[in-house]
Amino acid sequence: MNIQPTPFDHPDAVKLNDAVQLEYAARYGDEGDVTPLDATMFVPPHGLYLLAYDAEGRPVATGGWRTQNRNDEGYADGDAELKRMYVVPEARGLGLARRVLATLESDARTAGRIRMVLETGDAQPEAIALYTSSGYEPCTKFGHYRDYPNSRCFAKSLV
């Protein structure tokens, strides 16, 4: 697998983002994740967006982080927010999500971020299992979905 930094608006990133949105809609019965995002949020050193490609050059996994600081949505100074972690169904179980996650954590740490935070939902038990097995713990809710009952927020120290 080849994991490389890629702009959030790159055609392969858009393709996988569309796929994850369809999965969110299927799992939650709505329009998907409507958290406002744009490509500038993932530009180093304030963020990073990664794509993983298989041996045939197909995009199979994605994930990114963006800088967050204390605001009225519940973030804290020094936060790095994990966004758009996704692995296509045919590539699941190969450890790609764990590799992408470790790369994102390392990059956020290098950028001076002190805590990685993420929001997921209770209809994504695989995601929750990945994060908890990677050292993430439940935290106070934050972000766009903080008032939704099925939202689950997690955090991990990067120091």
The pLDDT of residue 36 is above 90: no
pLDDT tens column, 119-159: 999 999 999 999 999 999 999 999 989 999 999 999 999 99
Mean pLDDT of the chain: 96
Please write down the HEC assignment for all residues of the chain: CEEEECCCCCHHHHHHHHHHHHHHHHHHCCCCCCCCCCHHHHCCCCEEEEEEECCCCCEEEEEEEEEECCCCCCCCCCEEEEEEEEECHHHCCCCHHHHHHHHHHHHHHHCCCCEEEEEEECCCHHHHHHHHHCCCEECCCCCCCCCCCCEEEEEEECC
CATH 1.10.3720.10 fits 2-157, yes or no: no
Predicted local distance difference test score (pLDDT) of residue 57? 97
The domain locations on the chain are: 2-157
- Sorting pLDDT into bands at 50, 70 and 90, what band is 32? confident
